[in-house]
Structure 1
Amino acid sequence: MHRMNVVYTDHADTWYRLAEQKAAQYFASLSVQVKEKTYVHTLTEDFQLWRRNHIHHHSWLSFFSRRKRKPDSKDSHRYIQWLNDTGKLDGYLNRSVSYMYMRDLGKALDSPDTETRIRRVVADIRNRLIDSSATNGENPSESMSLAGLYRWAQKEGVETAMIWVINKLSTVSSHIPKEMNAEHAQRKLIKIIIGVILHVDDEMDDNISPTERARSLDEAIRLGYSYGLTYPFIDDLLDSGVLTAQEKEQYSHMIREALLTGSVPALGDWTGKNLDLIQYIHGELRDAFEYIRDYQRPEAQNTFFEQSYVFFHAQELDRAKDLSNPNYANEELFIPIILKSSSSRLIVRSVISAPVDEGFDHRTFYYGIYNQLADDFADMFDDMQDGAVTPYTYYLKYRDQRPDLINPFELYWTVISHLIHNVHRSNAKTREVILDRAINGLKRCKERVGSEKYTEIMEIFASGNPEFNRLVQQLVRKADDVDFFDKLLRDQMVANLKNNRKEKEDFYNTIQTVRHQINDILEIPKHDGILPMKEPLIDAANYSLVGDGKRLRPILTWVMGVNEYGLQASEILPLLRSLEYMHTASLIFDDLPSQDNASTRRGRPTLHQVHNVATAELTGLFLIQRAIKEQSSLEHFNPKTVLSLIHYSAEKTEEMCMGQAMDLQSKGEALTLEQLNMICFHKTGIAFEASLVMPAILAEVQATEIAALKKFAYHAGIAFQIKDDLLDREGDLLILGKPTGKDVENNNSTFVSILGLEGARKEMWEHYCLAMEALKEIPRNIVFLKHLLNYLVNRDR
């Protein structure tokens, strides 16, 4: 490691100087083309050829055809269906996949092998879209849901890696500071993971064995996360206002040292206010850095460190710019972004230790600035507001004072012309895809900012070439078939992430609010004139009731009854009390020395520890009777319905007792998975089922909906129990509120003892997916149940 320290430190300046020279030559060539406006004539001819496929003259009858009217792409299910009905889906997917192969994989579209691979991917995506749409009306973004991702992982045999990365993404999300754009950070991280998977998949031979393919994809997922983590926790963090100036300097120094020595330095003394955040990031980035480094072949490490250093140093130079400085030369504005935009993509192949591909390096180096200029154009107003220096923000501010400044919009068109004709040798497919993307970008900008603002932008950036601009704007107004699948997925992902965050906040707010209300109604009162002999039993019951319980069951009943079925909250209070009384009674019995012999529950000593076994047994019976009494007092509902509810409740109580009896009889025995599932459902799943079904009974919903609720409860209950078993093995005593390791101590068969830790995690996610799929059978979108399920498998207590 010490030898690496010397080598990398000595070569860093040379690495950057050589890269800078190459970028300077590229920029000089582009600058000449901008000044001579050679791109105007070339692209005018290109657009004249291109427009034949994109300017369609519609019959006046088409305006009266509702069936063929183009839906908004935000309704992705209807939009995909419309594309298919109108025969446009294949072209839509082909240009989208072709662009991804060119942008993300650095491929030449005139390669027969690339054409074959693109057709194969297009056919696969098409089949998935049509099949999922036909069977359950899923949106394309459903494949990016946790259940969708896990189902893909099962198909590829990479469940362990998927569980790992899902947990990682959840932890990252919880550590993104509020000053940063959480959805943007998560989207970029997910995009990088997908990009690395695409690279690895493209490198695999068609004859690769399933085992070897699974191993490569497993590594790709972990490598993608490890590399992608740099975006939220290096680029975005340093661009944000989270860290103080001193913290930024200290953090940047640490990153630079890691790239120059091949080893992440210790955090050392951190005097800033963000110590907890930095400690988490330092540990996570250290593990990621070491995973990438240790994965690589020795001959690829030098390339990785070289490209990473060029990327980081270019970012640092760019980040250090101040928009109030009017004296930056064109080279200072553009060369760093040429370097950072190209090296960020070049790094990927070194990350996965892919073989050297000079064609990839060549195409990727010249391509990078195109994507960067397109992104900066889309973000220019946000960047202006943040005071960030980009070619667009700088031109907006100083164009009147600095006639020497190169117009970045003109440079953008110059790069497009250069890519089509110099890099991709005037290939027709490349011209088609790049011009599709360019016009699509302008269309999206116009839609986002409005026609008036868009016209103002064009007057600033396109006024020097009026004829060319008129042509472009005509195409922006009239051109069809220029939208892209990856943009649809991006929009859906951002919308889903934002919506998911809002739903998650609502979920936890609902739990907190309803939990507080339930806590207020649980305590059993001691009325005036009560017999003294009753007081100890009521005190014992209240001791068990007022502990730090999650109250999931009555909360779930409240949400289903009030929010979904429209029942009055005040009218179902007896039902809420009955559920918690029954649940608390079951816990009292579970904890007894004759059963699980637990010493703590809900963060406090168990009831038989505080009083005695006899008192605990009597208190359990007392609470069961109180539960029946509460149910019989549901006076605002049809008596026959209440009787059905009581009958159902008694039946489920019997089954829970049977489950506990089976559990006790099985102690010390090696159970099969089928036996454990049966016991688990009777002990845990039934309680979830009752919480869902009892308000449905009161609301007199259809039997088919009750059946779907039971199916959801079955799988959710087992997932919940598996998580409990995992926490008993891996959980934190202080967080759990009860001792860990009790299952091993009591020689209990659990999902972990039968399947092992890894197998138990897979089984939990299988039941998670089955529960999510059961939700689709319920004729209402019950968002709360989705987030409840996410909570059940991600909780730490």
Structure 2
Amino acid sequence: MNGKFTENEAFTEHADSWYRLAEQKAAQYFASLYEQVMEKTYVPTLTKDFQLWQSNHIHHKSWLSFFSRVKRKPDTQDYYRYLDWLNVTGQLDDYLDRSVSYIFMRDLGKALDSPVTQKRIRRLVTDIKNYLIQSTATKRGDQPDYLSLAGFYRWAQKEGVENAAIWLIEKLKAVSSHIPDDMNAEHAQRKLIKIIGGVILHAIEEMGDEILPVERTRRLDEAIRLGYSYGLTYPFIDDLLDSEILNDQEKEKYSRMIRTALLTGSVPELGEWNGDNRDLIHYIHSELREAFEYMKCQQRSDTQQPFFEQSYVFFHSQHLDRIKDLSNANYTNEELYLPVILKSSSARLIVRSVISAPVDEGFDHRVFYYGIYNQLADDFADIFDDMREGAVTPYTYYLKYRDQRSDLINPFELYWAVISHLIHHVYHSDPKTLEVILDRAINGLKRCKQRIGIEKYNELMEVFAPGDPEFNRLIQLMVREADNVDFFDKLLRDQMVTALKNKRKEKEYFIETVKTVREQINNQLQIAKHDGIPPMKDSLIDAANYSLEGDGKRLRPIMTWVMGVNEYGLPFPEIVPLLRSLEYMHTASLIFDDLPSQDNSSTRRGRPTLHMVHNSSTAELTGLFLFMKSVEEQSSLNGFDAKAVLAMMQYSSQKAGEMCMGQAMDLQSKGQELTLEQLKRICYYKTGIAFEASLVMPAILAQAEALEIAALKKYAYHAGIVFQIKDDLLDVEGDRLLLGKPTLQDVENNSSTFVTVLGQKDARKEMWEHYCCAMEALKEMSLKTPFLKHLLDYVVNRDR
């Protein structure tokens, strides 16, 4: 269609009708709120509410409390200490109860006065508490397990949804790599993960207690895929259109395409798209089309129409909000607030349609009125960022035009009117609801004050403070003095953002370290020629240098460098012989592997193998030569304790022999159908030992503790299997040019591999099982090097 399409008039009429009906409902709601703000009816109501509420939240501390270590509240950034403090002081139950209750109201649209809802909340609180107490007692790792890939995969195993988990991990990796630099990557990923979690939570809540395990597994698998499919719209529609990545013409073209998909139920062809964003848009178009088709196929006939209606209302309200210009001084209150009401409520209403949940009028009613509360809270928190970017929100617009436009409603006053309306008109003055909503409101202001500082916060309050001075003083008293208003989901949000930022920094450091150290190692590998050497040795050195010059990953000596220099503090110049030794030994093993009598490979590291350039005899002799050079290098480690060097050399020679045994086992197994256990044993001797040696040899030189070395060996065992399974998968799926060697070699050699034994799907499961085991082994180490974590991520994600 060449990117040009005309919207069918019938579809357009339907769309206008959908939006007009939604807008009428929003207008009625806004009119009710506007009246409450103008007449200040919310003030006496909320004043009484706060007077009741504050008795549980403002406590006058005795002078003895200043001397009690137990009662000193840690910073929430110290995740484990903070949760431990909550537990020790007896506050963990209330903390989790209000947190889970809020999620049930906000995300699941539940009413807290329902006995069934209360029962489910108590059960979930108990489950979370038991998990948190266990995790804080062990204090394993530097971030909660549920924020890690290993933690997520372990949950997936428990639920029987490993295939969906692996699919999602690969999808999230691709999304992460395609988020442009000018967008907030951590923010985009966090929102996507949050949406996925929300859809899963909805699906679990819809299942009930009597569901059969096989059906639960099926629905969770579906929820993971639906959550990703729906959540993908946030980074690649909402955030992308809010950013400056696309120019105005591209935004218009892209928006028309999305609108057409929602109106017709079919994603149009992309057509021609030129410019710097071509590759990005091609990826997004392909991924969104796949997501759209999946969501559409999962819809029941009675939920498909609401899905498209709500999606269109969501997109169109976002569009109306997005195209506002802060320089336009003529927007009415309705133009400012109606799109906010619609986009914030429809975003949550869509989730029910996404999972094909039955129509629930109570849910729709509560969610519709609840939406604007979250949006006003979020916009208040982001006011300075929005002003800097020139975005139009109720707060930025009021901040700019309040002196010129006396008709403008104060959004902060509207915020409190919404809270009063929710408590007393939507949730019928339920005490538990009152408690949770006021907790959340004060918590939001406390967090804002802490984030922007007291001075800026006071400036905001001077502008936005509610018109009633007494009510404002009461609010500020609550912000200063009230405690026990923290929320677990906010803690998770902060932890997730921190974890994503740290992961990005650590990954950048990992890549830079690999690049820098690889270059250093490459500069040290060439075997020098000395005057007077025999011609035959001269040719052996040439052959060895040819093999060493190949485009090798140098993973093993890089691992040794990181452990030796970064973790154990060994001087780089003094461990250079060890680095050379490891690469010489590894290259020798590859030369032997490639021989016609063994794997018979014609290319290695992107070049012809040594026996193809020379002959098999030369290759065999060169391999032996490199093995002996490895021993020679180890014996030249003069800067270390002699006993440690001797112990390391004994260990090295033992492992070299075991590697030979592994290759012999591999050769003998050709043409045989191996069991999984036999495969893993061969893998350890062929691959795992090399990983182990790279980690253990510097540890021996540094005279590390036995428990530390044992943990390194366990990590290496599992990491070696991960590496080998990925190799086997790449042999079937990989790109020959990227790999630098032929694909399908295992099939041609009639070799048993993890793929031939398990199949591709189960081989991936086995790879992720050992990934988790390797990550768990790291928790047993006193050293907490992030390099080894990212090494595992590199191994499972590599394409060569």
Given the two structures, how large is their TM-score scaled by the length of structure 2? Answer: 0.98
Instruction: Identify the residue that residue 321 of structure 2 maps to in structure 1.
Output: 318
Give per-residue Cα distances to partners, 1:212-232, cap 9 Å, x unaligned: 101100000000000000000
- Return the letter of the residue paired with 2:319: E
Aligned counterparts of 1:138 and 1:479: Cα–Cα separation in 2: 33
Aligned-residue offset at 1:464: 1.9
**Residue of structure 2 aligned with 1:17, choices 20, 28, 35:** 20
Instruction: Identify the residue that residue 574 of structure 2 maps to in structure 1.
Output: 571
Q: For residues 352 and 216 of structure 1, do their structure 2 counterparts lie closer, same or farther at Cα, with a shift above 3 Å needed?
A: same
Instruction: Identify the residue that residue 474 of structure 1 maps to in structure 2.
Output: 477
Instruction: Identify the residue that residue 746 of structure 2 maps to in structure 1.
Output: 743
Q: For residues 598 and 341 of structure 1, do their structure 2 counterparts lie closer, same or farther at Cα, with a shift above 3 Å needed?
A: same
| Structure 1 residue 698 corresponds to structure 2 residue 689 | no
User: How do 1:508-527 and structure 2 match up within 5 A?
Assistant: 508-527=511-530
| Structure 1 residue 364 corresponds to structure 2 residue 367 | yes
User: How do 1:405-554 and structure 2 match up within 5 A?
Assistant: 405-462=408-465, 464-554=467-557
Aligned-residue offset at 1:140: 6.8
Aligned 8 A contact 1:192 1:224 in 2 = yes
Aligned counterparts of 2:11 and 2:250: Cα–Cα separation in 1: 25
Give per-residue Cα distances to partners, 1:506-557, cap 9 Å, x unaligned: 0110000000000001011122333222222111111110111100000000
Structure 1 vs Structure 2: percent identity of aligned residues? 75
Aligned counterparts of 2:142 and 2:695: Cα–Cα separation in 1: 27
**Residue of structure 2 aligned with 1:90, choices 93, 97, 106:** 93
- Return the letter of the residue paired with 1:98: S
Aligned counterparts of 2:543 and 2:252: Cα–Cα separation in 1: 59
Aligned-residue offset at 1:205: 2.2
Q: For residues 192 and 270 of structure 1, do their structure 2 counterparts lie closer, same or farther at Cα, with a shift above 3 Å needed?
A: same
Aligned 8 A contact 1:70 1:82 in 2 = yes
Instruction: Identify the residue that residue 172 of structure 2 maps to in structure 1.
Output: 169
Instruction: Identify the residue that residue 764 of structure 2 maps to in structure 1.
Output: 761
Aligned 8 A contact 2:70 2:88 in 1 = no
| Structure 1 residue 381 corresponds to structure 2 residue 384 | yes
Q: 730-739 vs 338-347, which deviates more?
A: 730-739
Gap runs ≥5 in structure 1: none
Instruction: Identify the residue that residue 253 of structure 1 maps to in structure 2.
Output: 256
User: How do 1:248-287 and structure 2 match up within 5 A?
Assistant: 248-287=251-290
Aligned counterparts of 2:550 and 2:326: Cα–Cα separation in 1: 57
**Residue of structure 2 aligned with 1:783, choices 777, 783, 786:** 786
Aligned-residue offset at 1:463: 5.4
Give per-residue Cα distances to partners, 1:370-422, cap 9 Å, x unaligned: 00000000001001001100001111111111111111000000000000011
Instruction: Identify the residue that residue 634 of structure 1 maps to in structure 2.
Output: 637
| Structure 1 residue 562 corresponds to structure 2 residue 534 | no
| Structure 1 residue 583 corresponds to structure 2 residue 586 | yes
Aligned 8 A contact 1:296 1:353 in 2 = yes
| Structure 1 residue 721 corresponds to structure 2 residue 728 | no
**Residue of structure 1 aligned with 2:358, choices 355, 358, 380:** 355
Aligned counterparts of 2:98 and 2:327: Cα–Cα separation in 1: 41
Aligned-residue offset at 1:728: 0.9
| Structure 1 residue 116 corresponds to structure 2 residue 119 | yes
Aligned 8 A contact 1:367 1:419 in 2 = yes
| Structure 1 residue 152 corresponds to structure 2 residue 155 | yes
**Residue of structure 1 aligned with 2:45, choices 42, 46, 49:** 42
Aligned-residue offset at 1:136: 4.1
Aligned counterparts of 1:672 and 1:5: Cα–Cα separation in 2: 60
Instruction: Identify the residue that residue 345 of structure 2 maps to in structure 1.
Output: 342
Aligned-residue offset at 1:7: 6.2
| Structure 1 residue 295 corresponds to structure 2 residue 304 | no
Aligned counterparts of 1:197 and 1:420: Cα–Cα separation in 2: 27
Aligned counterparts of 2:106 and 2:536: Cα–Cα separation in 1: 79
Aligned-residue offset at 1:139: 6.6
Residue 405 of structure 1: SS of its match in structure 2?
coil
Residue 759 of structure 2: SS of its match in structure 1?
helix
**Residue of structure 2 aligned with 1:679, choices 682, 686, 694:** 682
- Return the letter of the residue paired with 2:362: G
Give per-residue Cα distances to partners, 1:420-463, cap 9 Å, x unaligned: 01111111111100000000000001101111111111111005
Aligned counterparts of 1:243 and 1:272: Cα–Cα separation in 2: 10
Aligned 8 A contact 1:676 1:750 in 2 = yes
Aligned-residue offset at 1:68: 2.0
Aligned counterparts of 1:639 and 1:462: Cα–Cα separation in 2: 74
Instruction: Identify the residue that residue 204 of structure 1 maps to in structure 2.
Output: 207
Aligned 8 A contact 1:77 1:138 in 2 = no
Aligned 8 A contact 2:413 2:466 in 1 = no
Instruction: Identify the residue that residue 237 of structure 1 maps to in structure 2.
Output: 240
Q: 69-78 vs 224-233, which deviates more?
A: 69-78
Aligned 8 A contact 1:141 1:493 in 2 = no
Aligned-residue offset at 1:60: 1.1
Give per-residue Cα distances to partners, 1:327-352, cap 9 Å, x unaligned: 11111110011110011110000011
Aligned 8 A contact 1:443 1:476 in 2 = yes
Instruction: Identify the residue that residue 215 of structure 1 maps to in structure 2.
Output: 218
Aligned 8 A contact 2:412 2:466 in 1 = no
Residue 503 of structure 1: SS of its match in structure 2?
helix
Aligned counterparts of 2:142 and 2:349: Cα–Cα separation in 1: 33
Q: For residues 124 and 138 of structure 1, do their structure 2 counterparts lie closer, same or farther at Cα, with a shift above 3 Å needed?
A: farther
Aligned 8 A contact 1:660 1:683 in 2 = yes
Aligned counterparts of 2:110 and 2:742: Cα–Cα separation in 1: 56
Aligned counterparts of 1:650 and 1:271: Cα–Cα separation in 2: 59
Given the two structures, how large is their TM-score scaled by the length of structure 1? Answer: 0.99
Instruction: Identify the residue that residue 773 of structure 1 maps to in structure 2.
Output: 776
Aligned counterparts of 2:557 and 2:164: Cα–Cα separation in 1: 36
Aligned counterparts of 1:615 and 1:121: Cα–Cα separation in 2: 68
Aligned counterparts of 1:107 and 1:138: Cα–Cα separation in 2: 35
Aligned counterparts of 2:547 and 2:118: Cα–Cα separation in 1: 68
Aligned 8 A contact 1:6 1:261 in 2 = no
- Return the letter of the residue paired with 2:780: E
Aligned counterparts of 1:391 and 1:148: Cα–Cα separation in 2: 40
Aligned 8 A contact 2:26 2:338 in 1 = yes
Aligned counterparts of 2:54 and 2:248: Cα–Cα separation in 1: 51
